[in-house]
Amino acid sequence: MKSNIFNLKQQEYPYNSFIGGWYIPEHICDGLLEYYHANIKNVQNGVVGIKENNNTTIVKKDVKDSLDLAVSPNENSSEVQAYKSYLLACLNNYNEYYEYSDSNYSHNLNVDFNIQRYKIGGGFKKWHFERSHPTSLTRILVFMTYLNDVEDGGTEFYYQKLKTKAKKGLTLIWPTDFTHTHKGVVSKTKEKYIVTGWFTLTISEMRIKL
């Protein structure tokens, strides 16, 4: 790896899994948890999609049972800005670890991301991937940071036959397509908090490539 500006510890997974993992400081996670609870009035049930006929959100708790706080990429709070600095460092590490991942286009953090709370027994319970609808075509990479330790939590990847552990500060990055079909590991003992979202292409970049 050429550089690691924050000297982040790497969590190694099989190289051909295309899943990258690095640990950000725990105090950054604590800041996001404080931000979540300070904005609790804006928290909503997690959604699994949008109805095309009237543009309303779809909530199915048997699929995804979470309490989500949407965060604008332009949010200027110190907690979010600090997280973004470390997140972009993780992205830089990923792009250097997988050297052609950004060779044809840039990765942009320009759509809302979510801080999510999963109560005991909650989670994203069904297999899914992150680019599965016309509205998600610009998504290139997924990011996710565990904000607390959950011994029986984590994430399971279908084709990789891999379960990642929910370790506070562990930030994962992986491709958005069906190759990385995944679901949450539902904890029966403890609440789980994560922050998650996507790095995207711009429409102009898509047109150039097409």
| pLDDT tens string 112-157 | 999 999 999 999 999 999 998 778 889 999 999 999 999 999 999 9
The whole-number pLDDT of residue 174 equals: 98
Q: Looking at the whole model, is its pTM more than 0.85?
A: yes
Cα separation, 23 vs 90, whole angstroms: 9
What is the strand order of the sheet 67-71 is part of? 9-10, 20-23, 170-175, 139-146, 192-200, 113-118, 67-71, 44-45
Q: Count H helices, E strands: the chain?
A: 3, 15
Confidence of residue 49 (pLDDT cuts 50, 70, 90): confident
Residue 114 sits at φ, ψ, to 5 deg, of -130, 135
Cα separation, 48 vs 125, whole angstroms: 11
* CA 62 and chain centroid, separation: 20
The whole-number pLDDT of residue 52 equals: 65
Cα separation, 112 vs 198, whole angstroms: 9
Pairing of strands 123-124, 150-157: unpaired
CATH number, span 9-209: 2.60.120.620
Q: Which residue is listed with tokens 């997974």?
A: 13
Cα separation, 172 vs 202, whole angstroms: 22
The whole-number pLDDT of residue 154 equals: 96
Cα separation, 118 vs 41, whole angstroms: 17
**Looking at 38-42, 98-102, 153-157, 171-175, which range is the least confident one?**
98-102
Closest C-alpha among 5, 197, 203, 182 to residue 106: 203
The whole-number pLDDT of residue 210 equals: 44
